[in-house]
């Protein structure tokens, strides 16, 4: 996959959402802590089946990412290693992306979609993006407004489409490219 200047900016932004402590690396602990913050934000006990599934999916995501990106096997991934993993085919096609990402999104929605209607309210969206990725409320509100339907709800399908756009679209006008707020 070619890493264009625009994709490079998006990947750098996504990396920062993983690297909550700002130490310049993402590690398994970043994923563990993000999972704990998210399930706590929604009032789930650690042994709740939804929380367990979500944590398992996050650790699976870490393991997949680490196997592709942590080439020196030091247990942490630098921004350069992260970007190189994408250049080397971590996400080859939207279809291969869906295979890996849809189960994670389903687990996330089972935590964040409190009434299980397949759609996120503004409050649910702000809560999960803040807890999981430390996204500002302003950025979360802005992307929710861009992606939500006329009732102000964000469906699983719309969120998945936006995530696909984030990784595969080079069109700055596509809403998904701003999924994490400003790229600066």
pLDDT at 74 over 80: yes
Q: What integer pLDDT is reported at residue 183 of this predicted model?
A: 82
pLDDT at 93 over 80: no
DSSP 119: E
Q: Read off the pLDDT band of 60 (50, 70, 90).
A: very high
Please compute the mean of the pLDDT values over residues 11-35 and round it to a whole number.
Answer: 95
Q: Could you tell me the residue ranges of all domains in the chain?
A: 5-178
Domain 5-178 has CATH 1.10.238.10: yes
Q: Read off the pLDDT band of 133 (50, 70, 90).
A: very high
Give the number of other CB atoms < 10 A from CB of residue 38. Answer: 24
Please compute the mean of the pLDDT values over residues 156-162 and round it to a whole number.
Answer: 93
Q: Counting beta carbons within 10 angstroms of the beta carbon of residue 109, is it exposed (0 to 12), middle (13 to 18) or buried (19 or more)? A: buried
Does the global pTM surpass 0.75? yes
């Amino acid at each position: 996959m070619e890493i264009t200047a625009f994709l490079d900016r998006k990947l750098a932004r996504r990396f920062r959402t993983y690297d909550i402590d700002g130490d310049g690396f993402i590690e398994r602990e970043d994923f563990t802590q993000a999972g704990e913050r998210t399930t706590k934000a929604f009032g789930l006990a650690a042994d709740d089946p939804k929380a367990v599934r979500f944590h398992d999916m996050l650790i699976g995501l870490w393991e997949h990412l680490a196997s592709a990106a942590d080439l020196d096997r030091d247990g942490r991934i630098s921004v350069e290693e992260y970007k190189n993993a994408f250049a080397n085919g971590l996400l080859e096609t939207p279809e291969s992306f869906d295979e890996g990402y849809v189960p994670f999104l389903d687990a996330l929605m089972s935590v964040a979609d409190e009434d299980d209607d397949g759609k996120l309210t503004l409050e649910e969206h702000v809560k999960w993006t803040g807890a999981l990725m430390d996204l500002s409320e302003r950025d979360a509100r802005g992307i929710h407004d861009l992606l939500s339907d006329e009732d102000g709800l964000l469906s699983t399908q719309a969120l998945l489409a936006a995530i696909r756009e984030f990784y595969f679209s080079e069109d700055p006008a596509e809403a998904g490219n701003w999924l994490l707020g400003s790229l600066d």
